Amino acid sequence: MINLEAPKKAGALINQAYQAAAEVFRPISRKYDRAEHTYPAELDMFAALLDGLNSSGEGGAGAAGVRRSKDEPEKGNRNGANLNVVLGTIEMCWGDVGLLLSMPRQGLGNAAIGSVATDEQLKRFSGLWAAMAITEPGFGSDSAAVSTTARLDGDDYILNGEKIFVTSGERADAVVVWATLDKSKGRAAIKSFVVEKGTPGFEVVRVEHKLGIRASDTAVLRFENCRVPAENLLGTPEIDTAKGFAGVMQTFDNTRPLVAAMAIGVARAALEETRRILTEAGVDIDYDRPAHTQHAAAAEFLRLEADYESAYLLTLESAWMADNRKPNSLQASMAKAKAGRSVVDIALKCVELTGAYGEESLLEKWARDAKILDIFEGTQQIQQLIVARRILGKTSAQLK
């Protein structure tokens, strides 16, 4: 049986992440929402501190990847790095999700490297800040439709293509780029490559203006005859049609719970602020009385809180399964789908419940930040499609 309470040994990490969110992120949240495209210089010192925590084994507040040892013997149930990262991310995003996404060396590309890189690559790319580049102008949610190409030429791959909506695409030191080795062989030919800034043929075309997470940069990238060393291909270069898309898709099993955790942090922030405003307005939220016998605002708040709890528990389950060497693709998609949908509903309803207090209290900002959490790392509709395939035992060709 899975105990979905936060483990006691994670208490110190949760407290550290909360203090950082309260003392570093929350005070500058509005400043960098208004100063879009300005790098938050306050993050440099904090990132160095986080690096120290991670290297000491006490970290978990960043978007680092988690490796699963194939040689490790079964030792019973355990709570490990996946759960720690999720719990830390929740606290940090209670402070500000855009600022977490701006943290040096905590990009989603780092999660990809940490999840699927070889030991040699992991060591070589240590300390690198990596963004993730998947989406292209010709497709959004269908990751298998990647058209950026990678052609082997001697000891290098030559990349050609364009990527859009790349979080930290301008600021990061490198980008993990999804490209196909052979379009005719379908999903199995899609591989990921670490492309470092300054590589000839790699261009940042522009940085986008956004509705939310404005502290974080979102870029359009272009690769034109970009020559990348062959050893920068993550994982194996072999095209295994039997294994299919599993290699690169493994990254999502780790990053989708992280995005769910981001959503949970934002939702909790909105609920706590709404409770404060309602209490000051004289609305009593009573857990011992049926919702229909209470003030309409209190009844709605109780519904939102229940929605939050279900998303929170699904996310902890998906992280726990990864820690215990259990396939978690279904649970990762369920957590991402639920948390992404819930945070949008919760944030918008909180603005509705509190009315004119929204901008003064950051509620309107959280409502703007929330929507992207239902979109990136796979939209709501894609997550539901993945869940349906898993439950019904259908392939992607059978259920589109």
CATH number at residue 119: 1.10.540.10
Provide the pLDDT for residue 75.
58
Cα 312 from Cα 306, distance rounded (Å): 10
The answer to whether the beta carbons of residues 112 and 130 sit under 8 Å apart is: yes
Per-residue pLDDT at 71 exceeds 50? no
The answer to whether the beta carbons of residues 29 and 45 sit under 8 Å apart is: no
> For residue 132, what is the enclosing H or E element?
strand 130-133
User: In sequence order, what are the beta bridge partners of 149?
Assistant: 160, 180
Residues 155-198 pLDDT 10s: 999 999 999 999 999 999 999 999 999 988 888 899 999 999 99
Residue 164 belongs to some domain of the structure: yes
Cα 224 from Cα 230, distance rounded (Å): 17
Residue 239 belongs to some domain of the structure: no
Q: State whether 316 and 369 are in the same domain.
A: yes
- End position of a domain, from candidates 172, 207, 232: 232
**Cα 346 to the center of its chain, rounded Å:** 19
The single residue of 91, 170, 273, 377 carrying the catalytic annotation is: 377
The token pair at 368 is 């703007």
- pLDDT (average), residues 263-270: 98
Cα 41 from Cα 46, distance rounded (Å): 10
Provide the pLDDT for residue 304.
98
User: pTM of the predicted model, to two decimals?
Assistant: 0.90
- End position of a domain, from candidates 124, 155, 181: 124
Residue 345 belongs to some domain of the structure: yes
The token pair at 383 is 């997550």
The token pair at 11 is 């208490």
* 377 is an active site residue: yes
Provide the pLDDT for residue 323.
86
Q: State whether 169 and 87 are in the same domain.
A: no
Provide the pLDDT for residue 233.
96
Per-residue pLDDT at 273 exceeds 90? yes
Return the minimum-mean-pLDDT range out of 70-74, 129-133, 165-169.
70-74
CA nearest 91: which of 62, 64, 68, 115? 62
Provide the pLDDT for residue 355.
84
Residue 315 belongs to some domain of the structure: yes
Pairing of strands 149-153, 190-196: unpaired
Q: State whether 143 and 63 are in the same domain.
A: no
Confidence of residue 76 (pLDDT cuts 50, 70, 90): low
Q: State whether 159 and 181 are in the same domain.
A: yes
Using alpha carbons only, give the angle 337, 339, 343 rounded to the nearest 5 degrees: 125
Q: State whether 19 and 74 are in the same domain.
A: yes
The token pair at 399 is 């259920």
Confidence of residue 62 (pLDDT cuts 50, 70, 90): very low
Per-residue pLDDT at 46 exceeds 50? yes
- End position of a domain, from candidates 202, 232, 262: 232
The answer to whether the beta carbons of residues 156 and 186 sit under 8 Å apart is: no
Q: State whether 112 and 161 are in the same domain.
A: no
Provide the pLDDT for residue 243.
53
Quickly list DSSP for 216-265: S-EEEEEEEEEEEEGGGB-S-----TTTTTHHHHHHHHHHHHHHHHHHHH
Q: State whether 53 and 108 are in the same domain.
A: yes
Per-residue pLDDT at 336 exceeds 70? yes
Please state, for a pLDDT cut of 70, what percent of the chain lies above it. 88
Per-residue pLDDT at 63 exceeds 50? no
CATH number at residue 158: 2.40.110.10
Q: State whether 139 and 225 are in the same domain.
A: yes
Residue 240 belongs to some domain of the structure: no
Q: State whether 253 and 385 are in the same domain.
A: yes
Residue 400 belongs to some domain of the structure: no
Of these ranges, 107-116, 135-144, 296-305, 387-396, the one predicted with the greatest mean pLDDT is: 296-305
Q: State whether 163 and 182 are in the same domain.
A: yes
Q: State whether 171 and 99 are in the same domain.
A: no
Quote the DSSP letter at residue 102.
Answer: T
Tell me which residue range forms the domain holding 29: 8-124
Beta-carbon contacts of residue 81 (< 8 Å; ≥ 6 apart) = 60, 64, 66, 323
How many structural domains does the chain have? 3
The answer to whether the beta carbons of residues 318 and 334 sit under 8 Å apart is: yes
- Using alpha carbons, list the distances in angstroms from residue 214 to 40, 109, 158, 207, 249: 11, 19, 33, 11, 28
Q: State whether 84 and 16 are in the same domain.
A: yes
Residue 2 belongs to some domain of the structure: no
CATH number at residue 312: 1.20.140.10
| More reliable by pLDDT, 8 or 56 | 8
Residue 237 belongs to some domain of the structure: no
